[in-house]
Amino acid sequence: MLELLEELGIRPIEKSAEQLDLQAKDECDRRAPGVMRLFGEAVKRCSDKDRPGLEQGKREYETAYNQPDYATAVTKLDALEISAKAAKEKGDTHAKNTLAALRKRDAAKIKLHEGRLDSGDYEVFFWGKRRAAAYDKEKQEANRLEAAGDFFGAVDAYRRQATQLGLFAASLMIEWKILKDDTPNIDEAIKKNAYSAYPDLVKNFTAAKGQSAPIDKAAVEESWSDATLDAFLAYHKCVADLRQAQADKLLKLQTDGKPLKDVVNEAKTLAKRDPNVFVELAKTPQGVKLLDDMVGSLEGSAGSSESKDLCKAAIRARFGLQELKGDLTKKALPKLYDVMKLVPLSHTRDNERLSSIKRDRKSEEASFYRDSDSLVVLNLGRQGKWRGDGKTSDFDHDDDVPAEYFEGQITDLDYFNETTLHEVGHAVDAKMNFMGGRVDDPKFGGWHKHKLDEIADVAAGIGNFYASFTPAPIPALKKYLLGVLQGREKSIEASGSSDKDTLAQDPALAEAVKLRTKHAKALEKNSSEDVINKHVKSAMKKTKVKDQKQLDLLSAAAKLIFQDKKLSADDAAKQVLKDADTGLPPTTDWAQLADHDAVKWCRAIRMTGSSNGLWDKGKEGTDKAIGDRVYQQAYKDDWYSYDKKARAKGVSKYQFRAPAEWFAELYAAYYMEKLSDKHPDVSWLDGEVHALSS
Ligand SMILES: [Zn+2]
């Protein structure tokens, strides 16, 4: 019967259903991506109440499609589209209302602070310009998204704008506290007749001080009004005026032709009584020059406590520091002043990313810059060791760089000065986002940050790594490469022949838990790689295990215990075995694996301690390049590559650790006048860095 119908050209009913089905499938495939996008937007915007219904609709569509029942799937898709559209519209309306409500809530604050931004009132504070820019950025973004009809995104952006708005009040409170703490200094100075020549200014100050109760209330309650802000700013100005008068008096002594010695004596008295006078002094070029002259007159030694106070006040004022602390010895103070004087004021005084300096002359650690605190820590003793634990007494210059790039001997560098300029360089880089804006640019080293995964992929390209070990599964081999890059290869080799309980019950791990409790407070403060390694080492003394691979597993577990306050020995053992399990069988020929060029490369580019790595090894870096790129681990979790050619103009080996170091080393060499005009990087240092205006 069927055959007969076919012969007659009549299509059987089943076939037409199949065709309908195909049509339905086509429709699903064509429309689903758009509907799913809509669904995604709807889910993001909808209320918690509406979400389960939407998700149910999606599941019903998928079930029908997978069954497959394409006809039902089409109707489910229709339903999902309708409900997602409705939910999205509802969400948009809700977001629009939320945006309006938030703005209404903040209206008074917005009017108040935006008025101050327009008049530039906050620029008397060091954070003024930066906060204004940050606020404006979020505001523009919220407005842009709103104009584009993305109310949902606009609410998010507005919340960030509101956070910035709140920061004005927070910053004002800090400023108020500073002013309040400062007031007794002024009172004291007035009592000592320091301001007897300026009765009007003293009168203004006393009057402003009398108005301080409402200011205090506004600051504490964050309830600023135009009136309280006016009073605060007026108070602030009275104090600045008094100091300005003192600063002018000092300057006048000099222009009147008084000997520098007399000016310095007057300044010493001032530094003791009210060091903030120097801040006013440092605001004009003549004042800066007077500070330079006065510190210069100490001839490199601030012996008396008066000279030290003078020097400290001068450093804080001229370089715009909120804080200067640590071992500020008679030699270090003028030396610090002289070296920081070498760079433009836009890099120091007018750089909000540099606000504190601490000097420690006993620390064994390397000096550093901490961006989050705008802090430079100079761990500089009198006898310097270059690069922290590099333990070399010479500057780590790369021999392969042409001598004509340098003025004189590049190795002939003052340790204290080079290090200080290097750290200031980090703060300048932070201010300009210099290296951040020049990723991959070969003119600037061609630096690129990588995920660990990408490094493993590069490694796999060496000597056909995966193909060399077929039939071992590629994911397992890749996990092995990742393990080698992280220094876990011995643990991986041991994982197949270890069981969790033996590992967990090893006395070394019990000891680790014990030590962790004992040193809990210290670990809270400092849990650096070095500190943890030290603890691991002492815990490991308790084990009886001799096999190197098992020892590696154990110490990895001990390390986890110190890294995590709560981890038990059992969980540490479990975790380590899990990390070490690549999926390669225990019968794997580990020696053959370890000997492959790809694996050797991984071993060569990873760090060898907590602060040594491929960059230390000079030319070896270029030998390990893949094509034009040198890959390496720079910090525990940071991997970079740079352009091989950059080494031919390098200043030091350390420069090739990471982009920030690349910049800081050049910066230091440039300001120590060690780069000749032939050095390829001088032109942009001149044109882009040195020329930076405030
Ligand atoms: Zn550095």
**Predicted confidence (pLDDT) per residue in 457-472, tens digit:** 999 999 999 999 988 9
Task: Supply 337's token pair.
Answer: 């002043």
Q: Can you give the pLDDT at residue 6?
A: 59
Among all chains, which residue has been given the structure tokens 């030694």? 301
**Residue pair 132/117 in contact by the 8 Å Cβ criterion:** yes
Distance 368 CA to ligand 1 centre (A): 6
* 11: exposed, middle or buried (Cβ count in 10 Å: 0-12, 13-18, 19+): exposed
- Map residue 364 onto helix, strand or coil: coil
Of all helices (H) and strands (E), which one includes residue 286?
A: helix 285-296
Helix %, strand %, coil % for the chain, to 5? 65, 5, 30
Quote the ligand 1 centre to 47 CA distance (angstroms).
49
Q: How far is the CA of 351 from the centre of ligand 1 (A)?
A: 18
Decide: helix, strand or coil at residue 611. Answer: coil
**How far, in Å, is the centroid of ligand 1 from the Cα of 671?**
16
CA distance 39 to 25: 19
> Left, alpha or beta for 356 (phi > 0: left; psi -120 to 50: alpha)?
beta
Q: How far is CA 44 from CA 34, 36, 84, 151, 307, in A?
A: 16, 12, 11, 12, 64
- In angstroms, the CA 38 to CA 85 distance is 7
Q: Within 10 Å of residue 365's Cβ, how many Cβ atoms? A: 13
User: From the CA of 353, how far away is ligand 1's center (Å)?
Assistant: 15
What tokens appear for 325 in the block?
């602390």
Q: What pLDDT shows up at residue 389?
A: 44
DSSP string, 465-532: HHHHTTTS-HHHHHHHHHHHHTT-HHHHHHHTT--HHHHHT-HHHHHHHHHHHHTHHHHHH---HHHH
**If you measure from the C-alpha of residue 171 to the centroid of ligand 1, how many angstroms do you get, rounded to a whole number?**
30
Give distance in angstroms: CA of 661 to centre of ligand 1: 5
Q: Return the pLDDT at 388.
A: 43
User: In this structure, what are the phi and psi dihedrals at residue 416, rounded to the nearest 5 degrees?
Assistant: -60, -50
Spatial distance between the Cα atoms of 677 and 560, rounded to a whole number of angstroms:
51
CA 39 to chain centre: 36
- The confidence score (pLDDT) of residue 14 equals 57
Going from the Cα of 662 to the center of ligand 1, the distance in angstroms, rounded, reads 8
Distance of CA 693 from the midpoint of ligand 1 (Å): 24
Kindly state the DSSP code that residue 434 receives in the 8-state scheme.
Answer: T
| pLDDT at 390 (0 to 100) | 47
Distance from chain centroid for Cα 29: 45
The pLDDT tens digits of the residues spanning 49-82 come to 888 999 999 999 999 998 989 999 999 999 999 9
CA of 412 to the centre of ligand 1 (A): 19
Q: What one-character DSSP code corresponds to residue 626?
A: B
Going from the Cα of 369 to the center of ligand 1, the distance in angstroms, rounded, reads 7
CA 22 – ligand 1 centroid, Å = 64
* C-alpha–C-alpha distance, residues 241 and 263, integer Å: 20
Residue with tokens 């709140």: 166
Pairing relationship of beta strands 356-359 and 323-326 according to DSSP bridges? parallel
Distance 253 CA to ligand 1 centre (A): 42
582 to 414, 456, 502, 550, 672: CA distances (angstroms): 49, 14, 20, 16, 51
Ligand 1 center–CA 613 separation, angstroms: 15
DSSP code, position 609: S
Question: Can you say how many angstroms the Cα of residue 601 is from the centroid of all Cα atoms in its chain?
Answer: 29
Distance 87 CA to ligand 1 centre (A): 52
Position 10 scores a pLDDT of 57
Query: What is the Å distance from ligand 1's center to 419 Cα?
Result: 8
Closest CA to 145 of 134, 156, 136: 156
Question: What's the gap in Å between 627 CA and the centre of ligand 1?
Answer: 27
Rounded to the nearest angstrom, the distance between the alpha carbon of 664 and the centre of ligand 1 is 6
Q: Would you state the pLDDT for residue 55?
A: 93
The Å distance, Cα 174 to ligand 1 centre, comes to 30
Spell out, as residue ranges, where the chain has pLDDT lower than 50. 388-390
Interval between CA 309 and ligand 1 midpoint (Å): 29
**Which residues contact residue 138 at a Cβ distance below 8 angstroms, ignoring those fewer than 6 apart?**
157, 158, 160, 161, 163, 164
How far, in Å, is the centroid of ligand 1 from the Cα of 310?
A: 30
pLDDT computed for residue 397 by the predictor: 80
| 274: amino acid identity, one letter | D
Length of the chain measured in residues: 694
The torsion of the CA quartet 224, 225, 230, 231, rounded to 10 degrees, works out to -60
Q: How far apart are CA 324 and CA 278, in angstroms?
A: 14
DSSP state of 406: B
Residue 110 neighbours by CB distance under 10 Å? 17
Which region, left, alpha or beta, applies to residue 39 given φ > 0 means left and ψ of -120 to 50 means alpha? alpha
Bridge partners, 125 (sequence order): none
CA angle 540, 545, 549 (to 5 degrees): 90
Q: Is 9 helix (H, G, I), strand (E, B) or coil?
A: coil
- Sort 134 into a burial class: Cβ within 10 Å, 0-12 / 13-18 / 19+: middle
Q: Which amino acid is at 513?
A: V
Residue 380's contacts (CB-CB under 8 Å, 6 or more residues apart) are 332, 359, 360, 361, 367, 415, 416, 419, 420
